[in-house]
Chains A and B, each alone.
Chain A
Amino acid sequence: NAGVMQNPRHLVRRRGQEARLRCSPMKGHSHVYWYRQLPEEGLKFMVYLQKENIIDESGMPKERFSAEFPKEGPSILRIQQVVRGDSAAYFCASSPRGTVNTEAFFGQGTRLTVV
């Protein structure tokens, strides 16, 4: 059973371009969380999705950021018109259940650099 797969591992974008980050959860997991890790900081919650539904997007910036988790295929975190401040590591975690005591398994992250 493969772990949580994120791609690409590294992504370089120029200011104003779009960034698409992909997350394939572990087999059998229908709950996905996205976190952002800014330099010298801990991880900050962005969004929680369950298949085809956004459950909690309270950590998502109001503009330029969107997330989806379609019935088929990976979860996508999309950042439009990237700016230098978007440079960070973006981690996805998946879980078989959406309960507080269920372990979430993390991917290796996508490191986004905006130049």
Chain B
Amino acid sequence: AQSVTQLGSHVSVSEGALVLLRCNYSSSVPPYLFWYVQYPNQGLQLLLKYTTGATLVKGINGFEAEFKKSETSFHLTKPSAHMSDAAEYFCAVSEAGGTSYGKLTFGQGTILTVHP
């Protein structure tokens, strides 16, 4: 069975500072990995995904994530935080080669607060 752990339910940064949101996963087969963002009272929006190929993935709004198989991690980063980045972020995993459809297992979420 696969699982996702997001370290830190709340992360607070100053505007302009580095954003680092941590995600570790466990999967018995090669995973596909995703980061979603959820703004208050909104649905989830895909930030980026890793399927195969380059392990450093660039997404929307200046975010990127690196797949590290040896560390079973997929941490999300952004060099300089903006006030509009304040939201809740979810890491998710889907099994590649296992089930043939896109069922996602989500982490618990990390709420990002950005201070002026």
Whether A101 pairs with B108 at a CB distance below 8 angstroms is no
A115 within 8 A of B: no
Q: How large is the interface on A (under 10, 10 to 19, 20 to 34, 35 or more residues)?
A: 20 to 34
User: Which among B49, B96, B105 is the interface contact of A45 at CB below 8 angstroms?
Assistant: B105
Chain A residue at smallest Cβ distance from B109: A42
Within the assembled complex, what's the spacing in Å between the Cα atoms of A15 and B35? Answer: 36
Quick one: closest A residue to B95, CB to CB? A100
A48 partner, pick from B43, B98, B101, B106, beta carbons under 8 A: B101
Given A100-B96, A101-B32, A106-B44: A48 touches B49 (CB 8 Å cut-off): no
In the complex, A104 has a CB within 8 A of chain B: yes
Q: Which of A6, A42, A111 has the most CB of B within 10 A?
A: A42
Q: Which of B32-67 contact A (CB under 8 A)?
A: 32, 36, 41-46, 49, 51
Interface centre among B43, B49, B51 (most CB of A within 10 A): B43
In the complex, A92→B32 CA distance in Å? 20
| Measured CA separation A10–B44 after assembly (Å) | 17
Query: Which residue numbers of B lie inside 8 Å of A, CB to CB?
Result: 4, 6, 32, 36, 41-46, 49, 51, 90, 94-96, 98-109
Kindly list 20 other residue pairs between chains A and B, CB separation below 8 angstroms, not including A6-B43, A99-B102. Answer: A33-B103, A42-B90, A43-B44, A45-B103, A48-B101, A56-B99, A56-B103, A91-B43, A91-B44, A95-B102, A98-B101, A98-B102, A99-B101, A100-B32, A100-B96, A100-B99, A105-B46, A108-B41, A108-B43, A111-B41
